Structure formats: C-alpha cells, structure tokens
Amino acid sequence: MNNLKLLIIEDEKPSARRLNRMLMKNNYPEADLIHDVKSAIAYLKIHQPDLLFLDVQLSDGVSFEIFEEVEVKCPIIFTTAYDEFALQAFQLNSIDYLLKPIEEEQLLKALTKWKNLQLNNFNVQQFQQLIQNQLQEKAFKNRFTIQVGHKIIIIHTDEIECFYSENKSTFVSTETGRTYDLDVSLDHLETQLNPTHFFRISRKYLIHKKHIKEIYTHSNSRCRIQMNKFNSINLIVSRERTKDFKVWLEK
C-alpha cells in the first residue's frame, strides 16, 4: 500500500487536505496535491500516479484541458460539486464520480471498486467497458440544491416522492412531507431523472416508484396512485400513459 502513488488535483485546498486525511486514515499513503491545470500538466508529463483524484473546476480552467496536453493512463476518481460533468468524465479512465461534500463511505466504495479492478487485472480498454456500463446511471441527476430562506438544503432524488406543476409553477414533495418550489419545468426534469425510478404519469405529475404506497384501478382503464406522504386525488395515470406505466412498474 505504501508504494502507491496517489495524486489529488483540487483547487480548494481545504477540500484537498480533507480528502488526503481520509485516505491516510484508511491506511493509504499521503497523496501529492496540485491545485491548477498548468501545474497538473507539468506534473503528469513527468509522473504517472497509480490513482488520480480529480476535481472538474480548477482555479485556472476545467480539468478536462489536462487531457488535451498529456496522456493520463491511470484510473481516475472524479471529485466535484457538479453532476452535469458526469457524461464527459466517463469518457475518460474514470471509475467513479463522487459529489462533494465527499463522504468517507462513498470514498471507500470507490477505492474498493478500484482495488477489485486491480485484482482482476483490468486494463484501460476494460475500464472503458466499465464506463459504458455505468454511463447511463451516472448521467442522471441524483440530487437537488434548494434555497430555503438563508439556507441551502440538499435533497437526494431517492428522498423525492414526486414533482408536480401547479399554477404555472413546479414543486417537489419529499418523503418527509415537505414541499419546495423549483425553478425548472417538469419537461426539463423528465430528461434529467433516471426513468427506472421516475415516471411522468400525466402532464402535471412525475412520481418516484420507491414511494408508491397503493395503486387502484380507475375509470377508463386508468390507474390512481397513492404515495406514502404526498396526498392528492389527482395522481391519476393518464389514459395514453397507462400501458407504459404498467411496463415501468415491472422493471
């Protein structure tokens, strides 16, 4: 383990030091720290780490610029606050994409994945196949940041019972029964969310499968949905979506 060469490229120095401490706490060697694109290019022209932790937004540009100047052969764990870069990241040698603030449990899972790949002698081409297998899941939005007064809260998608539109506004209802307004349309949300978990039952409602409590038959061969917390008599699957809804339930 001590022979491993780890590199953290991260412009926020406290975040870089925190990640390094978590690695060392779990018996990994101290990583080299770099904070900008220019220094990263110079470093990687000389050194090739065994594992790279890479932020997307750096002080002098976007980290993807590094790959235009130097070949990076090692596996990469992306560490960023921006989930919209997942698609681009997984076209590289990425084995995971951790969203800040990084939790130790998330980090250890990513490291376990990396060690398992090593044990199985995965090469770069096999990494690319792994990337393709993960790409669809990782491309979808998995959390929302919402401002409530002077606070910003984070809501993970698995905590969301449904999204709905009302009076030309969009709202999100959570498993705690709280409702928040969003500055985004249902049409846009539908493209961002994993269709394995979310289904647009009608023009006004987009629901999460995990939080369905009961399903009832309704008039004209439709279905009425009861969620665990969100209570509305209008949660009715539209006639034209009923067939697809039933298929979705079985996935």
- State pLDDT tens for residues 82-99: 655 544 545 556 778 888
pLDDT band at residue 17 under the 50/70/90 scheme: very high
Q: How, if at all, do strands 143-148 and 198-200 pair?
A: unpaired
Span 143-249: which CATH code?
2.40.50.1020
Pairwise CA distance, residues 82 & 63, whole Å:
13
Pairwise CA distance, residues 171 & 124, whole Å:
43
Q: What is the mean pLDDT of residues 126-141?
A: 58
- State pLDDT tens for residues 114-125: 888 776 665 545
- State pLDDT tens for residues 102-113: 999 999 999 998
Pairwise CA distance, residues 182 & 190, whole Å:
14
- State pLDDT tens for residues 36-86: 999 999 999 999 999 999 998 888 888 888 988 998 888 889 887 765 554
- Give, in words, the CATH class of 6-139: alpha beta
What confidence score (pLDDT) does residue 133 get? 56
Pairwise CA distance, residues 91 & 78, whole Å:
12
Pairwise CA distance, residues 225 & 20, whole Å:
47
What confidence score (pLDDT) does residue 78 get? 86
Q: Which helix (H) or strand (E) holds 91?
A: none
- State pLDDT tens for residues 139-198: 688 889 998 888 889 999 999 999 999 998 999 999 999 999 998 999 989 888 888 899
Q: Where are the domains of the chain?
A: 6-139, 143-249
What confidence score (pLDDT) does residue 83 get? 56
